[in-house]
Chains A and B, each alone.
Chain A
C-alpha cells in the first residue's frame, strides 16, 4: 500500500482545506464564503479561528485563486 493510500478517512483539516478552496474558487462574494465556513458543522473546532477572518483578506484570497490557481 502506498503512503497516500494508507489514509482513507478525510481528516477535519483535509475537509476544511477542500471546502475553503472550493469556496474561494467559486466566485461567491466574501461575506457568503465566510457565512458558509462559519455555519459548517464539520468545522466546529475551527470556529475560533474562522471568526477572526478579515473580509479584506478573504477577498484577496479569492483574487489569488482567480489569478494563480490551477484546477485538477
Chain B
C-alpha cells in the first residue's frame, strides 16, 4: 500500500532486507494519483530483481458481459506489465462489474457452465495482456454453502484452462470456516492445493449477525492484526501446498496510523518469518 502508515511500518523491514518479494496492486490508484518516490523506488527495485508480483483488484473476471471498462483495464494492465517485470499476475475469483456498478468488492457467482465460459475467456485475456502466468485468489465472501463447497473445484477448472495457479488466501479460508462451520481439512482439500503458488495472510474483523444465526460474521477487512487461527492455518497450508513460492502479508492503507499498530504489524511479519523457517528448514 503506498500510504504513509505502511511506509512507517515497513521501512525497517525493507532496510534489513527481510522482504524477499513485493506484491503490487497495480490497478488501485486513481488515474490522477502519483506514486510517491519511496514507493516507486521499491517497485523498480523488486521489478529489477525478479521479485515483483502483480495483484489485480478491479478486473471482475467472472462478469457475464465484457464491458468497455474491462477492455480499458486490460489495456492498462498490458502497459503496466510491459513497463515493469512481474513474476505473475493474480486476480480475485468473483464479479463486481454488472448493472449499475463499474467495480467494487468481488461477489460469488452461480457456478454453472456460463460462469465457467466467461471466466475462462477473461483469464485468457488477462494472460494475453500480462504475458505471464495468471492465477485466481479464493474468495472470502459466500452467499451460501454452495459457494463455499464448490469454489475450489470451480477455480481449478478456470485456472487449468490457462495453466494458471491458485493464490490461496488463508484469511479468506478462515472467514468461511468461521461463517459456515465447515472443517478446515475438508475446506482446504476442496482446493487444488498442488496448484497453489502464493499464499496471502491478513487480519480482518467481526461484524454483527443480522439474523442471529451465528455469534458474529467474520469479514475480510485487512485492517487488523493476523489472528492466531490464521497463523495456524497458514502453517497447515504450507504443509499441504508443496509448490508455494510466495507468502504475502496484506494490510489496507491507513489502518495502522498509531505506532503501536505498526509495531503489531512488524510482530506479525516476524511470526510469518518464524512459520516459514519452521516449515522449510
Seen from chain A, the residues whose Cβ lies within 8 Å of a Cβ on chain B are 3-4, 7, 10-14, 16-22, 24-25, 30, 46, 49, 52-61, 63-65, 67-72
Contacts and interface: CB of A to CB of B under 8 A. Distances in A.
Given A11-B64, A54-B143, A72-B101, 20 more contacts: A4-B68, A13-B64, A13-B110, A16-B110, A17-B98, A21-B98, A46-B110, A52-B145, A52-B146, A53-B143, A54-B213, A56-B210, A56-B217, A60-B219, A61-B107, A69-B101, A70-B102, A70-B103, A71-B100, A71-B101
6 contacts: A4-B66, A16-B110, A20-B107, A21-B96, A49-B110, A72-B100
A24 B145 CA distance: 19
Contacts of B144: 49, 52-54, 57
Instruction: Say whether chain A's binding surface is mostly helix, strand, loop, or mixed.
Output: helix
Contact of A60 (B110, B112, B217): B217
Given A57-B141, A57-B179, A60-B219, A17 B102 contact: no
Contacts of A57: 141-144, 179, 217
Top 6 nearest A-B pairs (CB, nearest first) are A69-B104, A52-B144, A18-B99, A17-B98, A14-B64, A64-B105
A4 B141 contact: no
Interface of B: 63-69, 71, 95-96, 98-105, 107, 109-110, 112, 114-115, 118, 141-146, 179, 207, 209-211, 213-214, 217, 219
A7 B210 contact: no
Instruction: Say whether chain B's binding surface is mostly helix, strand, loop, or mixed.
Output: loop
